[in-house]
Amino acid sequence: MRALLTGASGFVGSAVARTLLAAGHEVRVVVRKGSVLANIGDLAVERVEADLLEPASLRGIMTGCDALFHVAADYRLWVPDREVMFRANVDGTRALMEEALAAKVKRVVYTSSVATLGLVPGGVADEQTPVRYSDMIGPYKQSKFRAEEEVRRLISGGLPAVIVNPSTPVGPRDIKPTPTGRLVRDAARGRIPAYVDTGLNIVHVDDVAQGHLLAYTHGRIGERYILGGDNLTLAAILTRIARIAGRRPPSLRLSRHWLWPVAAAAQAYARVHKSATPLVTWDELRMASKYMFFDSAKARRELGYHPRSADDALADAVAWFLATEHARGAKPAAMT
Q: Are 86 and 286 in contact (CB under 8 A)?
A: no
- d(Cα 161, Cα 149) in Å, to the nearest integer? 12
The domains of the chain are located at 2-169+201-229
Closest listed residue to residue 12, CA positions, set 43, 44, 34, 40: 40
Render pLDDT for 271-288 as a digit per residue (tens, 0 to 9).
777 666 777 776 777 777
Q: Is it true that domain 2-169+201-229 has CATH number 3.40.50.720? A: yes
**pLDDT computed for residue 262 by the predictor:** 76
Report whether 93 contacts 52 (CB < 8 A): yes
The residues near 236 (Cβ < 8 Å, ≥ 6 apart) are none
- For the question of whether the overall pTM of this predicted structure is more than 0.85, the answer is yes
Distance, CA of 24 to CA of 16 (rounded, Å): 13
Name the nearest CA neighbour of 224 among 236, 232, 212, 234. Answer: 212
pLDDT in tens, 136-190: 999 999 999 999 999 999 999 999 999 999 999 999 999 989 989 999 999 999 9
